[in-house]
Amino acid sequence: MCISQQLLLISTLATGSSLSQADVLGTFTFDQVTANAGGTTDPTPPPPLPQLTFGSFMANGLGANPRASSLFTFSGWTTAAELDAGKYFETTLTPALGSQVSFDTITFGVRRSGTGPRDYVVRSSLDNFAANLPAGISPDNVELQVSGNAFHFVNDNSTTQPANVNGSTVSLGTDFGPVADPVTFRIYAYGAEQSGGTFGVDDVSISGAISPVPEPEEYAAMFAGSLGVFAWLRRRKNPSLAVASATVAPDHSAT
């Protein structure tokens, strides 16, 4: 195996990441949500994926009924300018035994009523929901803007939005991969103009790459390979070492 191949193998085993580009792992469509049907858990079957279990989308601390069909939207959000840690949507993703996931992005559409929340953020269990995850708008949407990793509705709508406002994108860094333990994501909305105002999400897509957890012998190969690469690099920086290692003492035993 050449040096470049060894470096590629070591990098792959060290990170555990897939060599292919991140793909959409699953999308929450909320197709089976029915307005005022009761319940705070999305009845739509979660995305099926053998290597990763998608927990059902749930609403916490909000109204007892979804307020629209085919959309995950609830009332009861805080009117304060800061989020209420007890009011959120959430889902938990659990890698299967022997698998690990490198999460890449979360994208989703949003909708608010005329008196619904104006701001929303996404957080995760990796830091116990302490910090907003990196937020952006892609593709650009004049209805939304971002400040301090918080999304904001630009326009004050006097009536319920007739369609989703798309473009909300959360970028997940190296802390999110590869991980082999469950990860929970939460969406907090706040700044409602009235407590009866609604906020909802739709088509929540999570992308990333799934790879097997390296076996112990693979880590041993990585360690052995790293020693070989280190020695090669050291000889390149010190040519005298390479000459010395190639010199063989003459044999004076023969007459």
Inform me whether the pLDDT recorded for 27 exceeds 60: yes
pLDDT of residue 14 exceeding 60, the answer is no
Across the range 7-14, mean pLDDT stands at: 42
Give the pLDDT mean for 187-191.
98
Tokens 């060894």 found at: 6
| CATH code for residues 20-212 | 2.60.120
pLDDT digits (tens, 9 = 90+) for 67-112: 999 999 999 999 999 999 999 999 999 999 999 999 999 999 999 9
Residue 121 has pLDDT above 60, yes or no: yes
**Residue 207 structure tokens:** 């992308």
Q: Give per-residue pLDDT as tens, 219-239.
A: 444 445 555 555 555 666 665
pLDDT of residue 224: 52
CB 120 within 8 A of CB 204: no
Q: Output the pLDDT for position 138.
A: 96
Question: What's the pTM value of the predicted model, to 2 decimals?
Answer: 0.78
Q: How far is CA 8 from CA 2, 60, 225, 236, in A?
A: 10, 44, 10, 19
Residues 6+ apart with CB under 8 A from 144: 110, 137, 151, 152, 153, 154, 165, 167, 168
How many whole angstroms separate alpha carbon 178 and alpha carbon 214?
A: 11
User: How far is C-alpha 27 from the geometric centre of its chain's CA atoms?
Assistant: 13
Nearest to 127 by CA among 189, 78, 172, 62: 172
What is the band of 130 on the pLDDT scale with cuts at 50, 70, 90? very high
- Report the distance separating Cα 192 and Cα 206, nearest Å: 27
pLDDT reported for residue 22: 80
Is residue 5 scored above 80 in pLDDT?
A: no
**What residues does each domain of the chain span?**
1-16+214-241, 20-212
Q: What pLDDT is attached to residue 92?
A: 98
d(CA 99, CA 178): 9
